[in-house]
Amino acid sequence: MNIDKFKNDHTTVLATVAELRKLVESGVAQNAIAIATKIVAMSGAIKGHLAAEDQYLYPTLSKSTDPAVSRAGKQFQTDMSGITAAYGEFAGKWNLAAKVAADPSGFKNHANSIFKTLHQRIQQENQDLYPLAERA
């Protein structure tokens, strides 16, 4: 299975998270417009990535004749639902510059939490799931 697009999506998301971290370090309130704009853009990329995983990657892996691959596909899909909900809540809460500027510390705390979750999930997919997908 060719998963180059999934890998590229991960690179894009991690690059955007790095850009957001720099903006946060430079000042949340001062960069509220850029922060909200990047969150909206990243949300579109993440939604597209998740849709492709749900429609193509997970079902393909789940149907594998290799029990380890099938089990991993099902488990990763199940685990993703909580992360998807948490990211959706984050993006909905901080999608406007006024919201970001009104609560810089709240944004920073929430962003750190969700960015850590995204980073961990991407690393897990890159290290554990994608090698299985490449041999499926």
pLDDT tens-digit map of 78-128: 999 889 999 999 999 999 999 999 999 999 999 999 999 999 999 999 999
Residue 40 CB neighbour total at 10 angstroms: 13
For residue 1, what pLDDT is reported?
Answer: 86
pLDDT above 90: residue 135? no
Average pLDDT value over all residues in the chain: 94
Which of 24, 47, 26 has its CA nearest to residue 105?
24
For residue 136, what pLDDT is reported?
Answer: 73
Phi, psi of 56 (to 5 degrees): -125, -60
Any idea where the domains of the chain sit in the sequence?
A: 4-135
Q: Tokens 């990211």 appear where?
A: 87
For residue 86, what pLDDT is reported?
Answer: 94
pLDDT tens-digit map of 24-68: 999 999 999 999 999 999 999 999 999 999 999 999 999 999 999
Determine what percent of the chain is predicted with pLDDT higher than 70: 100
**Cα(5)–Cα(79) distance, integer angstroms:** 21
**Cα(30)–Cα(28) distance, integer angstroms:** 6
pLDDT category of residue 12 using cuts at 50, 70 and 90: very high
For residue 20, what pLDDT is reported?
Answer: 97
The Cα angle at residue 84 between residues 83 and 89, in degrees rounded to 5: 100
User: Is the full-model pTM beyond 0.75?
Assistant: yes
**Cα(116)–Cα(69) distance, integer angstroms:** 26
